[in-house]
Copies of this chain bind each other. A is one copy, B any other.
Amino acid sequence: MKVRVLVSFKESVLDPQGQAVKNALLTLGYDFIEDVRQGKIFELELKDMSREKIEEMIPEISHKVLSNPIIEKFEWEVID
C-alpha cells in the first residue's frame, strides 16, 4: 500500500525556496507565474494494514516525524 504525505510551510511563514524558484522562473520569461511555494513529499510504502489503522497512523507520523507543526502543515492521501 502506498501513501503520499505532502509537507509545506504554513501560509504565513516565509518560504525562501519558493521565492527563489519564482524569481528564477520570472527571469527566464515565464511571466505567467504568480507565486511558487516549495514543499516536501514523502511516499510511504506500507505493509498491508486496515484503512482505520492508516487513518490513525499517517496523521500521527506526519505530525510527529515528517513535519514540524510549528511552521509546517501537511496533507496526505492513499495513492495505491
A interface residues, Cβ below 8 angstroms from B: 6, 8, 18, 21, 24-25, 28, 30-47, 49, 53, 57, 61, 64-66
Contact = CB atoms under 8 A, between A and B. Distances in A.
Contacts of A39: 40-43
Within the oligomer, what is the number of copies of this chain? Answer: 2
Contact of A66 (B21, B43, B44): B21
B41 A38 contact: yes
Given A61-B25, A65-B28, A40 B42 contact: no
B46 A8 contact: no
18 contacts: A6-B41, A8-B41, A8-B43, A24-B65, A25-B65, A28-B61, A30-B57, A30-B61, A32-B47, A32-B53, A33-B44, A33-B46, A34-B47, A39-B40, A39-B41, A39-B42, A40-B40, A41-B41
